[in-house]
Structure 1
Amino acid sequence: MAKINLLPWRQEYRAQKQKEFQQIIVIVILVVVGAVFGWVKTVDKQILDQKSRNQVLTTRIKKLDIQVREIKELKKRRQELIDRMRVIQELQGNRPLAVRYFDELVQATPEGLWLNSIERKGNKLSLSGVAESNNRVSSFMRNLDQSDWYEYPALAGVTASPRFGEQASAFQLTVNVTGRKQDDDQDAVKK
């Protein structure tokens, strides 16, 4: 039988396949490295783009924060001005009322009654004085109750005051200060 040696042919075939396999692996590795490199570059570019967008947003937010602070400051100043204007209007509107209150108090005071002190706390007016008799105090309280500018007179105390006369009385009373009473205005409109 003839001797045929197939081993070198197989070895050559294997060596060729091994070489092709190594070439394919190198090509695959190069393609994978290229793809990974491209992917990393794409992600880095997206990150840089997002950072630049974030930076733009941050600067715009800072500008808006400054504008918001300015708006808040302007609103605060506006409210302060409105409050000042309201106080000034109230003072201007209430300025003639003090004269009205005193005028009405003088008209309500009967003869034989003297006021020693007048003190106002809020809408309460505290009066103290001396009257020739208790009837004068009663008359004073009725006059205050009928007044357009006072209401609810309340007697706090009456004491005898002999140094002003036999029937003289020192008194203290409180009365509420109001604006012009609504009932009288409505009656005047109806007539």
Structure 2
Amino acid sequence: MSANNATPSSVTVPTVKRRLISMIYEILLAFAVLFLPFLVFEIASKASHTPVAEHMRQALFFLILGAYFIHAWTKKGQTLAMQTWRIKLVVPGQHHVPLYVAAVRYLLSWLWIVPALLVSFALKLEHWHALYALLAGALLWSLTAFIDKDRQFLHDRLAGTRLIQLPKPEKKKKAA
């Protein structure tokens, strides 16, 4: 039985701790994904800091990460960090994550930081205070897993997706 067609009780849900550690690894990998596009952009824009260039950087950030996550989720159900931590994104009853579901999940995943960004903007927080607001927002969002009966984050519940824990791969026996 494939993980996508398994009943909710027959699959293991990764712990919140495991998912958060995977997300930290994901952040590090995002820097690698963003490096080349941003290098090209900085060369093309001559490192301009005009308001238009700043908005273009933000759009590039959003689009490149969106392409990375949506592509990974629709092809394998896993990003590189998710593969490392044996976590897979599934849509119950489907073999693959549909493109529109992956796109909705990507947009909803921004709820981890958008409320904190809005608070930071409204309170005119800067530097460390803004960072603390982002960390507090992410911490509060991670707590949404504890109010869900299946321990799924709110954005997964809203998108109709689930994160499941894959079993450890079998160790290969050495030839005699």
| The two structures share one fold, judged by TM-score above 0.5 | no
Scaled by the length of structure 2, the TM-score of the pair is 0.22
Q: Tell which structure's C-alpha radius of gyration is larger.
A: 1
Scaled by the length of structure 1, the TM-score of the pair is 0.20
